[in-house]
Structure 1
Amino acid sequence: MVLPAVFVSHGAPTLALEAGAAHAFLRHLGQNLERPRAILCVSAHWETAGPTVSTAVWPRTIHDFGGFPDALYQLRYPAPGAPELARQVVELLRAAGLAALSDPERGLDHGAWVPLLLMYPDADIPVVQLSIQSHIGPAQHLAVGRALAALREQGVLILASGSATHNLGAFRTYRGDDVPEWVVRFDRWLAQALAAGDTEALLAYRQLAPEAVRNHPSEEHLLPLFVALGAGGPRPVIQQLHASYTCGILSMAAYAFDSKAEAPESLQWSAEAVSL
Structure 2
Amino acid sequence: MSKKQPVLFIGHGNPMNAISDNSFTKSLKKISENIEKPEAILVISAHWQTRGTSITASDNPRQIYDFYGFPEDLYRVVYNPKGKKELSSYIVKALNEVDTTVIGVDYWGLDHGSWAVLTHIYPEADIPVLQLSLDAGLDEKSHYELGKKLSFLRDMGVLVIGSGNIVHNLKEMGRETYSEPHPWAVEFDRYISESIIAGKHEKLISYKKAGECSELSLPTDEHYLPLLYIAAMQNEGEKVEFLFDEIHHSSLSMRCLKIG
- Quickly name the TM-score band, shorter chain normalised: over 0.9
For structure 2, the residue ranges without an aligned partner over 5 or more in a row are: none
C-alpha spacing 1:4/1:210, structure 2 compared with 1 (3 Å): farther
Distance in 2 (alpha carbons) for counterparts of 1:243 and 1:191: 9
1:137-152 matches, within 5 Å, as 137-152=139-154
Q: Which residue of 2 aligns with 1:266?
A: none
CA 1:165 to 1:134, structure 2 compared with 1: closer, same or farther past 3 Å? Answer: farther
Contact preservation (8 Å) 2:52, 2:137: no
SS of equivalent to 2:61: coil
Deviation at 1:131, TM superposition (A): 0.3
Alpha carbons of structure 1 residues 56 and 232: separation in structure 2 relative to 1, 3 Å: same
Structure 1: gaps of 5 or more residues: 259-276
For residue 12 of structure 1, report the CA deviation from its aligned partner.
0.7
1:170 aligns with 2:172: yes
CA deviation after TM superposition for structure 1 residue 200, in Å = 1.2
Q: Which amino acid aligns with 2:26?
A: A
Instruction: For 1:60-99, list aligned pairs within 5 A.
Output: 60-99=62-101
> 1:30–1:118: 8 Å Cα contact kept in structure 2?
no
Q: Residues 192-231 of structure 1 correspond to what in structure 2 (within 5 A)?
A: 192-208=194-210, 211-231=213-233
Is the 1:149–1:233 contact (alpha carbons within 8 Å) kept by the matching residues of 2?
A: no
Q: Could you tell me how far apart the structure 1 residues matched to 2:192 and 2:111 are?
A: 26
Partner SS, residue 195 of structure 1? helix
**Cα offset, 1:124, TM superposition:** 0.6
Which residue number corresponds to residue 5 of structure 2? 3
- Is the Cα–Cα contact under 8 Å of residues 4 and 152 in structure 1 kept in the other structure? yes
Q: Which amino acid aligns with 2:186?
A: V
Q: Which amino acid aligns with 1:95?
A: E
Cα distance in 2 between the residues matched to 1:214 and 1:96? 36
CA distance in 1, matches of 2:42, 2:224: 17
| Distance in 1 of aligned mates of 2:34 and 2:74 | 26
Q: 2:259 is matched with which residue: 257, 260, 263?
A: 257
Moved more, 23-32 or 202-211: 202-211
Change (3 A) 1:210 1:30: farther
Q: Contact 2:46 / 2:163 at 8 angstroms: preserved in 1?
A: yes
Q: How many residues align?
A: 258
Alignment partner of 1:100 out of 89, 99, 102: 102
Larger mean CA deviation between 163-172 and 202-211 belongs to: 202-211
% of aligned pairs identical? 33
Offset at 1:174?
7.3
Superposed CA RMSD? 1.6
Question: Which residue pairs with 1:269 in the alignment?
Answer: none
